[in-house]
Amino acid sequence: MRVRAALLGAALVLGASACQQPANAAEEVVSAPAAKRVAKEGSGLKTAVFSGGCFWGVEGVFSHVKGVKSAVSGYHGGTSRQANYKLVSSGITDHAEAVKVTYDPSVIRYDQLLRIFFSVVTDPTQLNRQGPDVGAHYRNALVPQSAEQAAVAKSYLAQLKRARLWNAPIVTRIEPAKSFYPAETYHQDFMIKNPRHGYIVRWDAPKVAALKRMYPGVYSASFQRN
């Protein structure tokens, strides 16, 4: 109880915590297969949006991927008036905590980002929750920003369902792209700014460690700040 109280106090000092307090263990990682449908996005920087629970961890993992130029925590969907942490975390809005990733497809492709997402970032079998975080705003979703991304995402989800890597059905959805609203400043680059935060230590640092261990070729030791 003392540890939990201390963690809660730390979150309050930061303002408001986007994520719930840590439970007993970090999430398991899965060795997702390489995508059979390779993304062909041409040249120039591209963006992709991922919703997979607390945006601190999603942002933290992608910020350690070579070719990623930025990973911005924010709220996808809903309205601009309600796009703030207090309202989103209350569960009364239609937003999802999400991360907008800007990347160079000549270095890291969209299908490779999908593989990373399902391997070390999220558990695609959890409906309207992720780990200790519960609510539709923590839903698991892919938000394609182009027809090519949509085709790749659909193909990869079908491939994962056939692979049966998880003991429960995959509930990840493909959602149409709507407005994306960057989250409050204190949420941005949260992992690198708060490496000793209880939630980061228990839930998100292990994801980055898994990225380094499983995909050393795309892992970047430096954190790409926004």
Residues involved in catalysis? 54
Residues 6+ apart with CB under 8 A from 175: 51, 76, 77, 96, 141, 142, 143
Contact 73, 19 (CB under 8 A): no
Going 91 to 88 to 192 to 116, the CA torsion angle's sign is positive
**CA 56, 57, 60, 61: dihedral to nearest 10 degrees?**
-160
Q: If we measure between CA atoms, which residue out of 131, 157, 160 comes closest to residue 52?
A: 131
